[in-house]
C-alpha cells in the first residue's frame, strides 16, 4: 500500500518556483529545511518499515532527481535515506540505506503539497 501525506509550502517559495526564480530542487531543499516539514517527511519514510519490527526511525534524508511540470503542478522526487532499527528487548541496533520515489501535486490555492510514495516491495515467502 502506498503511503501519502501533505506538506505546507510558503506562498513566497511557491511564487518563486512558478516564476522560475528557483529550481524545483531548490524549492525542495528550502522546504525540508523547515523543522516541521523535515520531521513529517522522516516519519513518512519510516512508516514504510513499521512491519519489519525494530522501531524503525529515519533521521535524515536527501532529495534528488526532482522533476516538475508547471502545467500540471505535479512532479516526482527520489529520497535517499538510512533506516535505523532498534530492537530494545535484545539490545540490537541495525541500519540500512534505502531510497523511495515520491510523486507530488501542488495545490496553488491552499499552498499544500500532496505526496504519494511508491508501492513498497512485498516479500511473500
Range of the domain at 60: 4-117
Backbone angles phi, psi at 86, to 5 degrees: -125, 110
Residue 124 lies in a domain: no
Residue 73 lies in a domain: yes
pTM exceeds 0.95: no
Question: What digits encode the pLDDT tens for the residues 19-72?
Answer: 999 999 999 999 999 999 999 989 988 888 877 766 889 999 999 999 999 999
How many domains, in total, are found in the chain?
1
Residue 22 per-residue DSSP state: S
CA pair distance 51, 14, nearest whole angstrom: 36
Residue 75 lies in a domain: yes
Residue 57 lies in a domain: yes
Q: What is the pLDDT of residue 41?
A: 87
Residue 47 lies in a domain: yes
The proportion of the chain whose per-residue pLDDT surpasses 90, expressed as a percent, equals 62
* 44's grid cell: 513518512
* 35's grid cell: 523543522
DSSP H/E element including 76: strand 74-87
Confidence of residue 88 (pLDDT cuts 50, 70, 90): low
Amino acid at each position: 500500500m502506498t503511503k501519502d501525506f501533505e506538506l505546507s509550502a510558503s506562498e513566497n517559495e511557491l511564487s518563486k518556483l512558478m516564476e522560475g526564480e528557483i529550481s524545483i530542487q531548490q524549492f525542495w531543499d528550502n522546504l525540508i529545511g523547515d523543522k516541521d516539514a523535515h520531521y513529517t517527511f522522516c516519519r513518512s519514510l519510516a512508516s514504510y518499515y513499521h512491519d519489519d519490527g525494530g522501531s524503525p526511525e529515519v533521521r535524515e534524508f536527501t532529495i534528488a532527481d526532482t522533476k516538475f511540470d508547471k502545467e500540471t503542478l505535479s512532479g516526482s522526487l527520489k529520497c535517499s535515506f538510512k533506516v535505523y532499527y532498534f530492537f530494545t528487548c535484545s539490545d540490537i541496533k541495525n541500519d540500512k540505506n534505502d531510497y523511495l520515489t515520491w510523486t507530488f501535486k501542488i495545490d496553488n490555492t491552499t499552498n499544500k503539497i500532496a505526496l504519494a510514495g511508491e508501492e513498497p516491495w512485498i516479500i511473500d515467502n
